[in-house]
Amino acid sequence: MQENAKNALKIVELLEEEYPAALCSLDYGKDYELLFATRLAAQCTDERVNQVTPTLFSRYPTLQALAEAKIEDVEEIIRSCGFFHTKARDIVNASIMLLRDYGGVVPDSMEELLKLPGVGRKTANIILGDVYRKPAVVTDTHCIRLANRMGLAVGKDPYKVEMQLAEIIPPEKQSDFCHRLVLHGRAVCSARKAACERCCLSEVCARKL
């Protein structure tokens, strides 16, 4: 574990040099907008979500407006994101719950976030990391794929990968580390082919060792 943690710190350092701006790839202005954008991103690309959310949030500019929206109207706006029936229902019902139970503020704990309709650990961790700057490991497909390739985690179960990474990535680095994995996964280490010849991690990646 000690050696793996040491290697993880080097990977964190190299990714920081390669991708100085560790920004979330979803566009948002308010905490609940990130919550719902992340919900829409399930089995959909962030690029597509960013095309849809401006219309959604301009049509319903407040949490109250979303809570009062007709689900079928929200469905039409988000249809291209896939699974639009479930996602629209979750967005409207979560808006109602946020207003009723949390004073219109997205909660700042894993326990409370998981009570919201459609919110799993991945979405909760994005909120904890990006909105509240708390330690949070977001195990999306990029994170799971790269963590396994680099030898930082074993297995494809999101929760187990999250726990493995949480042990070896410094808490204050976790959220930005996951954003950088997304950037690296798209630019260099894609699912189809890892471009090891131009990878900044080639000297420390288990794939090359």
**Catalytic hit among 90, 140, 173, 176:** 140
8 Å CB contact between 24 and 34? yes
Of 58, 203, 206, 103, nearest to 146 by C-alpha is: 206
Catalytic residue list contains 140 = yes
Of 142, 139, 154, 137, nearest to 194 by C-alpha is: 142
Task: Please provide residue 201's backbone torsions phi and psi, each rounded to the nearest 5 degrees.
Answer: -105, 10
> How many angstroms separate the CA atoms of 28 and 178, rounded?
18
**Catalytic hit among 122, 130, 173, 176:** 122
CB neighbours of residue 55 within 10 Å: 12
Catalytic residue list contains 6 = no
> How many angstroms separate the CA atoms of 54 and 152, rounded?
37
> Which residues carry out catalysis?
122, 140
